[in-house]
């Protein structure tokens, strides 16, 4: 027990100190814990100075208290720190953040850097997405049902696009790995689809407005014919599932008549 004069350390039993310790850490928030410490620490100017220095090492005298039945009891520093389970540095930080004029504890500033970093990352990602979206792309012509991937021109590459992005915006500090990660997340690729694209569809989609105007009638007829052929195919498949004879006849008919016709019309890959 503390034998210092006017200290009430002997009033605090081990169970009582354990209860104070549990209540202190049940706060669960650093700001609230600091407010608790500042509420039970009293700082005053020293009553007596033993040095004539203009900048003495000891600028404040601290008095430590612990609650007992709603009354603050004066205890020694060792009892105070040991009961709350904190170090002297933690206590000094809480006292330092207390504004003497308003008695308000300063807000924790360590999270501000993370917030600024987070907002900066959002701006970088947004600029990268906007840059990637400027490049024209086409969807997979024959794999639309099984894939949503879109394709950029085969002459481009990821390193080329990243270099263009850096030249365009010198303020962007995004790394190449971040650029590649966003590019893949957008489900893009430079590779050609595994199946060959229809020449007419490719010319119409990638051509100029004049080319599209000249090919519009032919292209619309081509799309209508494609949908008709697909409906015929689906109807034949449903019939073949229920009747093996029809299945064998359709197999023979497909390779003797339908396949040559599709090859001639450029519709083989469509079905």
DSSP class per residue in 245-261:
HHHHHHHHHIIIIIHHH
pLDDT of 220 strictly over 50? yes
Locate tokens 């040991």: which residue? 82
pLDDT of 267 strictly over 80? no
Residue 121 and residue 168 share a domain: yes
pLDDT of 141 strictly over 90? no
Structure tokens that stand for 119 in this block: 């907002």
Is residue 104, in this structure, part of any structural domain at all? Answer: no
User: Last residue of some domain: 189, 207, 222?
Assistant: 189
> Which range has the worst mean pLDDT, 18-22, 80-84, 108-112, 165-169?
108-112
Residue 178 and residue 124 share a domain: yes
Locate tokens 């720190």: which residue? 81
> Which range has the worst mean pLDDT, 18-27, 160-169, 201-210, 260-269?
260-269
Structure tokens that stand for 79 in this block: 């009892």
Q: Is the dihedral of CA 227, 230, 234, 240 positive or negative?
A: positive
Who wins on pLDDT, 87 or 243?
87
Residue 78 and residue 127 share a domain: no
| 232 DSSP assignment | H
Categorize the per-residue pLDDT at 18 as very low, low, confident or very high, splitting at 50, 70 and 90.
Answer: very high
Question: Who's near 27: CB < 8 A, 6+ residues apart?
Answer: 33, 36
What's the confidence (pLDDT) of residue 152? 84
Distance CA 24, CA 17 (A): 11
Average pLDDT over residues 251-255: 53
User: Last residue of some domain: 151, 171, 189?
Assistant: 189
Who wins on pLDDT, 162 or 256?
162
Could you tell me the CA-to-CA distances from 176 to 118, 186, 188 in Å, in that order? 18, 15, 16
Closest by alpha carbon to 43, among 27, 21, 23, 58?
58
Structure tokens that stand for 57 in this block: 């090492």
What's the confidence (pLDDT) of residue 270? 43
What's the confidence (pLDDT) of residue 16? 92
Rg (CA), the chain: 39
What's the confidence (pLDDT) of residue 214? 82
Residue 128 and residue 177 share a domain: yes
What's the confidence (pLDDT) of residue 203? 74
Residue 66 and residue 30 share a domain: yes
Residue 92 and residue 21 share a domain: yes
Is residue 256, in this structure, part of any structural domain at all? Answer: yes
Residue 211 and residue 175 share a domain: no
What's the confidence (pLDDT) of residue 144? 53
Is residue 51, in this structure, part of any structural domain at all? Answer: no
Residue 177 and residue 114 share a domain: yes
Is residue 89, in this structure, part of any structural domain at all? Answer: yes
pLDDT of 208 strictly over 70? yes
The DSSP-derived string for 118-170 is HHHHHHHHHHHHHHHHTS--EE-SS-TTT---EE--TT--HHHHHHHHHHH-T
Q: What crossing angle do the helices spanning 244-253 and 209-242 adopt, rounded to 10°?
A: 140
Distance CA 159, CA 163 (A): 6
What's the confidence (pLDDT) of residue 111? 53
pLDDT 10s digits, 88-129: 888 888 888 876 666 677 776 665 555 555 677 888 888 888
Structure tokens that stand for 10 in this block: 């002997």
- Backbone angles phi and psi of 153, in degrees to 5: -60, 140
Is residue 39, in this structure, part of any structural domain at all? Answer: yes
- Give Cα 246 to chain centroid, integer Å: 56
> Which range has the worst mean pLDDT, 202-206, 214-218, 228-232?
202-206
Q: What crossing angle do the helices spanning 77-84 and 14-26 adopt, rounded to 10°?
A: 60
Domain count within the chain: 3
Is residue 103, in this structure, part of any structural domain at all? Answer: no
Residue 86 and residue 34 share a domain: yes
Who wins on pLDDT, 5 or 63?
63
pLDDT of 25 strictly over 70? yes
Residue 206 and residue 185 share a domain: no
Domain, as residue range, for 164: 110-189
With a pLDDT cut of 70, the percent of the chain lying above it is 68
Q: Is the dihedral of CA 61, 66, 67, 72 positive or negative?
A: negative
User: Last residue of some domain: 142, 162, 189?
Assistant: 189
pLDDT of 150 strictly over 70? yes
Q: Tell me the β-bridge partners of 63.
A: 42
Residue 116 and residue 90 share a domain: no
Q: Return the SS3 of 64.
A: strand
Is residue 270, in this structure, part of any structural domain at all? Answer: no
pLDDT of 205 strictly over 80? no
Is residue 102, in this structure, part of any structural domain at all? Answer: no
Residue 225 and residue 158 share a domain: no
């Amino acid at each position: 027990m503390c034998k210092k004069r006017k200290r009430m350390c002997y009033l605090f039993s081990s169970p009582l100190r354990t209860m104070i310790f549990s209540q202190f850490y049940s706060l669960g928030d650093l700001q609230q814990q600091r407010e608790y410490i500042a509420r039970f620490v009293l700082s005053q100017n020293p009553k007596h100075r033993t040095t004539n220095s203009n900048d003495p090492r000891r600028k404040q005298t601290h008095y430590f208290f612990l609650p007992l039945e709603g009354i603050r009891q004066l205890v020694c520093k060792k009892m105070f720190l040991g009961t709350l389970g904190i170090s002297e540095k933690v206590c000094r930080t809480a006292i330092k953040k207390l504004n003497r004029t308003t008695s308000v504890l300063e807000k924790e500033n360590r999270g501000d850097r993370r917030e600024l970093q987070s907002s900066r990352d959002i701006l970088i990602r947004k600029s990268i997405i906007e840059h990637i979206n400027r490049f024209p792309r086409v969807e997979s012509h024959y794999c639309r049902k099984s894939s949503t991937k879109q394709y950029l021109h085969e002459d481009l590459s990821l390193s080329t696009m990243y270099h263009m992005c850096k030249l365009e915006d010198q303020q962007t500090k995004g790394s190449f790995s971040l650029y590649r990660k966003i590019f893949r997340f957008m489900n893009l690729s430079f590779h050609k689809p595994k199946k060959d694209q229809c020449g007419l569809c490719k010319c119409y989609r990638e051509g100029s407005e004049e080319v599209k105007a000249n090919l519009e009638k032919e292209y619309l007829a081509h799309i209508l014919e494609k949908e008709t052929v697909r409906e015929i195919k689906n109807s034949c498949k449903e019939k073949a599932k229920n009747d093996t004879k029809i299945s064998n006849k359709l197999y023979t008919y497909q390779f003797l008549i339908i396949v040559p016709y599709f090859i001639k019309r450029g519709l083989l890959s469509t079905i």
